[in-house]
Amino acid sequence: MITDSVPPSTADRPVTIPRTTFELLALIDFTTSGRRLLDILTSRHAPEDGSVAAKQRELAAALGIAPPAVTRGFRELAQTGAAWQIEGERKRYQLHPQLVGTEMSGAGERRLGAIAADRFNDQRRRRYEAATGVASVGGLFVPPIAFAEPVILQREVFELLALADLAPTGRRVLDILLARHSPHDGTAEISQREMVSALGASYPAVNRGVRELGELGLVWGLKGNGGGRYQLHPVLTDGAVSSPVMNCPPIPEVGPDVFSALRRERYAVQIGSLRRTA
């Protein structure tokens, strides 16, 4: 039984995010803790203004981590402009409007972006500059985003991603696939070589990321198209799949050697919730 107080999300409206935002998120230098915290905040924000009311201890319980890790995560999110504490309110935080599709006051000149883009390798820096509109990208072939419709995800999906055992590159690969997947059948057509160009990452890192997503049952390769077509799990695509008789792999439970007891129990709760809503 979970003993820490973990307040549930106060809203059930799905989260709508532009595809270009996922493209940008894939290029920002988040750590694993920072991105997990961003996912849990996204799952709990108020749809009318993008704010989140939560104590850091509650967020630590929701993530199954120590409170100091949450403090470090908030510091990182403030540096990237993804989320910040609302002035004069100790327990309320604001998400950047690009992340939640809201209008809000107080954003000022806050920009969603990398902490240290000057440390990126040349390829990733060029992709980042293109994603932020600083410069056009040339010399790197990356399939463009072919669909204008935003990505719509249930809040439980973000809570699951906050608890999943994903390394930073695996999460970045998922962002690239979310940005490019078809709203009609949930597939994304992009090869691993093209992901290397899109992310400015090495081929082994991208390959590991794809493998991690496969082990979690979130993404799997489809035959044909030279190995460059991937199916996203229907919980990520609002139920869209490429075949009405497709056998979707289950999202697996995790063992005690991977997560703490609290994080493992939170993860199991989210899997159960998604199975009921999928």
> How do residues 215-266 score in pLDDT, each as one tens digit?
999 999 998 766 699 999 999 999 999 988 677 877 766 554 555 665 666 6
> Which two three-digit tokens encode residue 201?
């990452």
Question: pTM (2 decimals)?
Answer: 0.87
Structural domain includes residue 179: yes
Range of the domain at 188: 15-277
Model pLDDT for residues 230-240, shown as the tens digit of each residue? 999 999 999 99
Structure tokens at 22: 């996922």
Handedness of CA 23, 248, 212, 71 (dihedral sign): positive
Residue 6 lies in a domain: no
* CA-to-CA dists, residue 198 to 133, 144, 168, 233, angstroms: 15, 10, 15, 22
Residue 4 is assigned to a structural domain of this protein:
no
Does residue 80 or residue 12 have the better pLDDT? 80
Q: What percent of the chain shows pLDDT beyond 90?
A: 63
- 196 assigned to some structural domain: yes
Confidence of residue 1 (pLDDT cuts 50, 70, 90): very low
In a domain, 3, yes or no: no
Rg of the chain over all Cα atoms, to the nearest angstrom: 18
Assess if residue 1 is contained within a domain.
no
The 10s digit of each residue's pLDDT in 107-119 is 567 899 999 999 9
Give how many domains the chain has, as a whole number: 1
Q: What are the Cα distances from residue 60, in Å, to 41, 63, 73, 77, 105?
A: 12, 5, 11, 15, 28
